[in-house]
Amino acid sequence: MKATRRKTVLTLAAGMAAMMLPISRVGAQAGGTLEQIKQRGALRVGVTQAPPWYSKDPRTGEWSTGLGVSLGKAMAATLGVKFEPVEVSWGTAIAALQGGKIDIMYMLDATPERAQAVDFPTTPLLYYSLAVLARDDLPVRTWADLNQPAVRIAVPQASSMDKYLSENVSKANIQRFPGNSEAIAAFQAGRVDAVCLFHPPLLAARQRLGAGKIVVPTPALSQPSSAAVRKEDNKDFVNWVDKTIAGYYQSGQTQKWYEAFLTDFGLDPKSAPPVQKELIK
């Protein structure tokens, strides 16, 4: 009798303890990220200063422009919640997702290594392309146009861009530099005719320099980027993100947001590579 009574008491105590769990924890177990966002009333988006993806207004301190900001605001509005930017870095975004500090981070490529730590939607968010910022008078349409000994091209050493040039534009005078900034500085100083990078950093360089043209030589080499979310058993949120970004991309809305930022940034959208790969000519 005593053993039975003791078991009954312990069972009741366990039940009482479960009822006293914090509501947020119970909600997290039951509904996952999507339900948490709705309960919280805010979609927390990781942001970092990186035009054209995210840009903070230095006058107000607000994250007001950039493709990632536009995406975050639109997704929040669809869910009927607030857009809440949370400042992180590219290096800390995964940890911020795992630690529950943010709900989503746009423009993280879905690498196998990252996929072990976070989830990614099946549909790519957008595409960015291997491009060159070249002298205005340099005729560039194809990679073959650059594959000449007289053409000097700057590239970050031991990068994927370096590998591509070495394999496909080997006749050119390829000059290798420690990083993006040094390669761009060589172009600015006139020591090279073009600098080769995936196109996003070239946009800021073109805007700052006020000279040169950005070209995606053909055949175009484009790679997808994605949006990372917290890894969890409940897949409601990652499935919703997948469906939502697919709709934005297929309708052309993603490209429109991108072009709107370029215009605000002082660049002609026609002079920049598109992020919708079907538009690359």
Pick among 1.10.540.10, 3.40.190.10, 3.30.360.10, 3.30.1020.10: CATH of 128-222: 3.40.190.10
Q: In which region does residue 119 sit, left (phi positive, over 0), alpha (psi from -120 to 50) or beta (all else)?
A: beta
Pick among 3.30.365.10, 3.30.499.10, 3.40.190.10, 3.40.228.10: CATH of 10-125+226-276: 3.40.190.10
β partners of residue 45:
85, 104
- Comparing 17-21, 33-37, 181-185, 248-252, which segment has the lowest mean pLDDT? 17-21
pLDDT at 196: 97
| Angle, in degrees to the nearest 10, between helices 236-251 and 67-79 | 120
Question: Residue 59, class by beta-carbon neighbours within 10 Å (0-12 exposed, 13-18 middle, 19+ buried)?
Answer: exposed
Does residue 248 carry a pLDDT above 60?
yes
Task: Round to whole Å and give the CA distance between 127 and 58.
Answer: 28
* pLDDT tens-place string over residues 82-134: 999 999 998 899 999 999 999 999 999 998 999 999 999 999 999 999 999 99
Which residue ranges does the chain devote to CATH 3.40.190.10? 10-125+226-276, 128-222
The 3-state secondary structure of the chain reads CHHHHHHHHHHHHHHHHHHCCCHHHHHHHHHHHHHHHHHHCEEEEEECCECCCEEECCCCCCEEECHHHHHHHHHHHHHCCEEEEEECCCCCHHHHHHCCCCCEEECCCCCHHHHCCEECCCCCCEEEEEEEEECCCCCCCEHHHHCCCCCEEEEECCCHHHHHHHHHCCCCEEEEECCHHHHHHHHHCCCCCEEEEECHHHHHHHHHHCCCEEECCECCCEEEECEEEECCCCCHHHHHHHHHHHHHHHHCHHHHHHHHHHHHCCCCHHHCCCCCHHHCC
Q: Please state, for a pLDDT cut of 90, what percent of the chain lies above it.
A: 73
pLDDT at 30: 53
Both tokens assigned to 128: 């960015």
Query: Per-residue confidence at 37, pLDDT binned at 50, 70, 90?
Result: very high
Is 45 within 8 Å of 85 (Cβ atoms)? yes
The one-letter code for the residue type at 92 is T
Q: Please state, for a pLDDT cut of 70, what percent of the chain lies above it.
A: 89
The mean pLDDT of 241-262, rounded to a whole number, is 97
Is 235 within 8 Å of 169 (Cβ atoms)? no
Does residue 235 carry a pLDDT above 80?
yes
* pLDDT tens-place string over residues 39-76: 999 999 999 988 889 989 989 999 999 999 999 999 99
φ/ψ (deg, to 5) at 119: -100, 150
pLDDT at 200: 87
Is 205 within 8 Å of 263 (Cβ atoms)? no
β partners of residue 104:
45, 229
